[in-house]
Amino acid sequence: MKSSKYQARKPDESGFIEYTEEEHETWSILYHRQIELLKGRACDEYMNGIEELAMPSDRIPQLDEINQVLKGKTGWGVARVPALISFDSFFKLLADKQFPVATFIRVREELDYLQEPDIFHEIFGHCPLLTNQDFADFTETYGRLGLAATKEERVYLARLYWLTVEFGLVDTSKGLRIYGGGILSSYGETGYALDSDIPVRTAFDPLAALRTPYRIDILQPLYYVIDDLSVLHRLCEMDIMALVHQAMEMPLLPPMFEPKPQEGAA
């Protein structure tokens, strides 16, 4: 497991997590600019979730505030974790309907991008859609499958997660909308995913997604588009592991990006 320069905040005896004024200001900056940008870009289910959660715009929310809403809507909750956790821990939490949240927020120098998922990415990007049963059920199913999978199978499952939960688009009667948390929490990728003529947008195919390479440190070159969030529920009813094994017998699709530069390379 990689190390992180960030340290998650621990709660006091009453469960309250203390943040600095600057950290609250960082949340406020991220929240206000993103919520404006997402109008007409995020899917309705996400915007409904934003209303349901009623998260504060001027301070970092406490996890209990999020839990109270999610528990009543879909039986989900959030769990405080260190900056980075093992795959086993990640899958176990999802299987138990607990979304992992690292309780730190990015520094100003990394306002637009950081590789580690912080509390803004997890709470703002993912939790609103956990009020939607289709999305919540798929996330739980993914956790259960990942927990039982081999190391090699997890590599394929990770592609499916990345191209749906993190970077998925949905086709609606109003046009393309965003449901992937990696886009919803990213100022730069929000506009790029919908407006740029650079990336490819193609109909979602689970077998293709399982075979699609990706990089975490670039704007995505490819977005898979589902017809409706109910597609995620139908995925739960499919034998996803059979698709994984089928994908493992097939070649990967050609990468649509340059290889990541090696550290120290000229």
Name 32's bridge partners.
Answer: none
Q: How far apart are CA 139 and CA 85, in angstroms?
A: 17
Quick one: DSSP state of residue 42?
A: B
Q: Which of 23, 140, 153, 185 is catalytic?
A: 185
Q: Which of 126, 140, 186, 189 is catalytic?
A: 126
Nearest to 190 by CA among 26, 25, 35: 35
32 belongs to the catalytic site: no
65 belongs to the catalytic site: no
CA dihedral sign, ordered 253, 256, 262, 266: positive
196 belongs to the catalytic site: no
Is 166 annotated to bind ligand?
Answer: yes
Q: Which of 23, 140, 153, 166 is catalytic?
A: 166
Name 80's bridge partners.
Answer: 101
DSSP per-residue letters across 141-202 = HHHHHHHHS-HHHHHHHHHHHIIIIIT-EEEETTEEEE--HHHHT-HHHHHHHHH-SSSEEE
233 belongs to the catalytic site: no
With a CB cutoff of 8 Å and minimum separation 6, the contacts of 32 are: 57
- Characterize the bridge pairing of strands 200-203 and 175-178: unpaired
Q: Which of 121, 122, 140, 153 is catalytic?
A: 121
Is 22 annotated to bind ligand?
Answer: no
Q: How far apart are CA 180 and CA 125, in angstroms?
A: 8
Is 25 annotated to bind ligand?
Answer: no
Q: In whole angstroms, how far apart are CA 28 and each of 13, 16, 56, 61, 115?
A: 26, 19, 9, 11, 20
Binding residues: 121, 126, 166
Question: Binding site for Fe cation: residue ranges?
Answer: 121, 126, 166
Give catalytic residues, as residue numbers: 121, 126, 166, 185
